[in-house]
Amino acid sequence: MNFLVDYNIEGQALVLLGNIAKEGWIELLGIRFVTFKENGLPIDSSDRVVWREAQANQMILLTANRSMKGFDSLEEVIREENTLASFPVITIGNGNRIDEHIYRKKCVDRIIEIVLDLENYMGTARLFIP
């Protein structure tokens, strides 16, 4: 399963990915974190462009602070374009707490739970973790 990692949480995503790898989930589930740069997205891409890119490439968007207001806000895009076949957006509730072992473990556990049961999360729009 591929995740599109929002540009402003690349550091936190690396920490999460390290924990996912340590638990052996990368090999088992084929988890891969893809950055904006790797995907050819400019860091100033609108939420609409980012969401559409994730959907077009069958990726889960991993973010911490995408916009909640305005025409191109993530919330508006989801309201307008989300379908039962849409991949969910995972939003880290507090990216600053990734350094805390217990919080990080809860985030990793939740990510794995979502990937393992992805078919039941399709079309759910946005999932806040942990």
pTM value? Answer: 0.94
Q: Return phi, psi of residue 23, to 5°.
A: -85, -5
Phi-psi region of 126 (alpha: psi -120 to 50; beta: other; left: phi over 0): beta
Return the domain boundaries, the chain: 2-129
pLDDT score, position 72: 83
Inter-CA distances, 78 with 3, 48, 94, Å: 17, 9, 21
Q: Which of 112, 64, 54, 37 is nearest to 88 (CA)?
A: 54
Model confidence pLDDT, tens digit, residues 83-128: 999 999 999 999 999 999 999 999 999 999 999 999 999 999 999 9
Model confidence pLDDT, tens digit, residues 29-80: 999 999 999 999 999 999 999 999 999 999 999 999 765 667 788 999 999 9
Residue with tokens 């990080």: 104
For the domain 2-129, what is the CATH code?
3.40.50
